[in-house]
Structure 1
Amino acid sequence: MSILSDTWQWFTDPANWTGSTGVPIRLAEHLGYTALAVGLAAIIAVPLGLYIGHTSRGRNIAVLLTGALRAIPTLGLLTFLVLLLGIGLIPPIVALAILCIPPLLAGIYSSIESVSRAVIDASRAQGMTESQILTQVELPLASPLIVGGLRSAVLQVIATATVAAFVPLGGLGRYIIDGLAVRDLPRVLAGSIIVVALAFIIDLLFAGLQAYATSQANPAARTRSTQRSLDPEIDLEVHP
C-alpha cells in the first residue's frame, strides 16, 4: 500500500483518536504549550513594545535584539536549556517563548509607531496624559497591526511546538518523533498534516479577528476624538 493510503488508514483507526495518546489529547497538549509560550512572551514583549512604540526610545536596541533572537536555532536552544535546567516542561516553554518574542515585540512597537504623529500631538494639545494617549488613541488605531503581529507569533509557535517531543513531552510532535524512531512514515505524515491543519485553522481565526479589529479601529477613534473635541482637520485625518 502507498504511504497516502496508509496515512488515511491511520486517520480512520479509532485507536488513534482515544486514550492518552489519541489525537484530542495530543492536540490539547500542543495548544497548551502554545498558550504557555505565547503568554510568557507577552509578559515581556507587550509592555516593552508599548513603551518603545510610544516613546521611540530603545528602538535600535529592539531591532538588534529581535534580529538576534530570530537567528537562534530553536532545537539548539532547547538542547542548551535542557542541559541547563534538566528534563521537564520549562525548557521547551522558554525556548518557544524566546521564539515568540521577536514577531510579537516588532509587531507591537511598529504598530504603535504607525499612528499619525499629528493625531498624537493634537491629543497632547487637548490635555490628554501619555497613558490616555496610549490607551485611547494609539492602541485603538494600531489594534489591527497588533493582532497581525500576534497572529504571526502564534503561528510560529504552533509550527515549532513539535520540538517539545524531543524532551520528551506530549503534543502533536510525538507522532512525528515517535514515527521517525520506528520508521512509521504514515504516523509521521499524519502528525504533520494535523499540525498544518491546526495552523491553518488558527490563521483563519486570527484573520477574522484582524478584520474585525480593522473595522472597529476607525469608529473607536472617532468616538474618542469626538469626546476630546479634537480639531476637525485632525479628525478628518484619523478617519478618511
Structure 2
Amino acid sequence: MGRVPDEGAGVNWLIEFLGNPANWTGADGVPARLLEHLEFAGLSLLLAMAVAVPLGLWIGHTGRGALLVVLSANAARALPTLGLLVLIVLLMGVGTIVPVLIPLVALAVPPILVNAYEGVRGVDPELRDAAYGMGLRGRQVLFGVLVPVALPLILLGLRTAAIQVVATATVAAYVGLGGLGRYVIDGLATQDYPRAVGGAVLVAGLALAVQGLFAILSRVSVSPGVSRRPGIR
C-alpha cells in the first residue's frame, strides 16, 4: 500500500528498509541482490576492458583508426541503454544474463577506449622520441614508456565506465533480472517507498564505493613523478 510522502519521509523510509531483518536474508536480501548487481557490473566492465584497453592503446600508439575513437565517443552520448536492453531481451529472451551484459558493455567501452587513446596519444612527443633514441622499439616504447605516463587517464576512463555501469545495471530489473534495481523497480510498482528508497541509496552507495576504490588504485599504482593531465569525462 502506498504512503503519501511528508517532510523527512525519505530518511524514515531508508531507516525502515535497512532496519528490517527480512531485507538482509534470502534470495531477495541485500547481500544476494548486491552480488547479482556486482556480477552484472563486474562482467560488463571486464569484457569492455578486454576490448577497449588494447584497442585504445594500439590506436593511440599507431595513430590508426582515430575515427573509431570519435565515433565511440559520440555513440556513448546517444546510446539508449534501456531501449537496447528491451530490444535484446525481445530477441534473445531472459534465460541468461547475456541480454543485460550487451548494453552495459556497449556503455562501458567508449570512455575506456577514448581515455586509453587520449592517454597514449597525449604523451609528450619528446619523451616518445627519447625512448626510440635509446633503442626501444614497438611494444617496449608502448608498455615501458607510454602506458606508465598515460596511466592516470586510463584509470580515469575505467573509473568513469565502472560508475556508469554500476548505476545503469539497475535497468536489469526492468526485464525481470536481479540486482539492486529490483528494490527500485518493485518498490515503485507496489508503492513500497521504503524499498524503492533503500534500493536507490544502495546503488548510489555502491557507485561511491567504486569511485573510492579507483581513487585508492590510482594513488598506489601511478608513479609520483607522472604528471596528472586533464582527462575526458
Instruction: Count how many residue pairs are aligned between Structure 1 and Structure 2.
Output: 219
Question: Which blocks of at least 5 consecutive residues in structure 1 are unaligned?
Answer: 219-240
Is the contact between residue 36 and residue 178 of structure 2 (CA under 8 Å) also seen in structure 1?
Answer: yes
Which residue in the other structure is 2:177 paired with? 169
Shift in Å, 1:145: 1.3
Write 1 or 2 for the structure with the bigger share of helix: 1
Which residue in the other structure is 2:61 paired with? 54
Counterpart check, 1:37 vs 2:44? yes
Deviation digits for residues 137-195 of structure 1, max 9, x if unmatched? Answer: 01111111111110000000000000111221111000011111111111101100011
Shift in Å, 1:217: 5.5
Question: Which blocks of at least 5 consecutive residues in structure 2 are unaligned?
Answer: 1-5, 227-233
Highest relative contact order (Cα 8 Å, sep 6+), 1 or 2?
2
Counterpart check, 1:112 vs 2:115? no
Which residue in the other structure is 2:231 paired with? none
- Bigger shift: 61-70 or 200-209? 61-70
- Percent identity, aligned pairs only, is 46
Residue correspondence of structure 1 range 205-216 to structure 2 within 5 A: 205-216=213-224
Counterpart check, 1:134 vs 2:142? yes
Is the contact between residue 103 and residue 149 of structure 1 (CA under 8 Å) also seen in structure 2?
Answer: yes
SS in 2 for 1:169: coil
- Bigger shift: 165-174 or 151-160? 165-174
Which residue in the other structure is 2:79 paired with? 72
Shift in Å, 1:6: 3.0
Q: Give, in whole Å, the separation in 1 of the partners of 2:50 and 2:219.
A: 25
Q: Give, in whole Å, the separation in 1 of the partners of 2:198 and 2:59.
A: 43
**For the aligned residues, what is the CA RMSD?**
1.6
Counterpart check, 1:103 vs 2:111? yes
Cα 1:179/1:202, change in 2 over 3 Å:
same
- Bigger shift: 17-26 or 203-212? 203-212
Q: Give, in whole Å, the separation in 1 of the partners of 2:20 and 2:72.
A: 47
- Bigger shift: 70-79 or 203-212? 203-212
Q: Give, in whole Å, the separation in 2 of the partners of 1:7 and 1:62.
A: 42
Deviation digits for residues 14-50 of structure 1, max 9, x if unmatched? Answer: 1101111110111111111111101111121111101
Q: Give, in whole Å, the separation in 2 of the partners of 1:6 and 1:125.
A: 64
Residue correspondence of structure 1 range 151-166 to structure 2 within 5 A: 151-166=159-174
TM-score, normalisation: structure 2? 0.89
Is the contact between residue 53 and residue 112 of structure 1 (CA under 8 Å) also seen in structure 2?
Answer: yes
SS in 2 for 1:196: helix
Is the contact between residue 34 and residue 154 of structure 1 (CA under 8 Å) also seen in structure 2?
Answer: yes
Is the contact between residue 144 and residue 217 of structure 1 (CA under 8 Å) also seen in structure 2?
Answer: no
